[in-house]
Amino acid sequence: MKITTIKSNRDFQRIYHRGRSFVSPALVTYALKTKNHNLRIGITTSKKVGKAVNRNRSRRVIRAAFYHLNADNSASYDIIFVARTRTAFVKSYEVERYMREHFKKLGIID
């Protein structure tokens, strides 16, 4: 299965408004089931997270946790991960644990 990134503002807004959201101390996840058969992800970090170093670290941690968790996933979802202030200061396995909880609630993984 192919994993692509979400880049357009229209797609982000659609997922924010129509999708389900899950909140944890280090991560917010928005997910919307789609009809096409690929998984698309988007990662956002606001300036509230910190300066550029912290924002980039947050994105790296989220991406590493997602790729480690997504071994053989055949779901067709659009998923947006929003970094929180704590994200830059936690390890990727903690973010992966939060992601796993969110994915279980969604039904993506068992």
pLDDT tens digits along 21-48: 999 999 999 999 998 878 899 999 999 9
Provide the token pair at 110: 């068992």
Q: How far apart are CA 54 and CA 70, in angstroms?
A: 24
Query: Is 0.85 topped by the overall pTM?
Result: yes
Q: Whose CA is closest to 72, among 109, 30, 104?
A: 109
pLDDT tens digits along 46-77: 999 999 999 999 999 999 999 888 755 667 88
DSSP secondary structure of 5-59: E---HHHHHHHHHHSEEEEETTEEEEEEE-SSSSEEEEEE--GGG-SHHHHHHHH
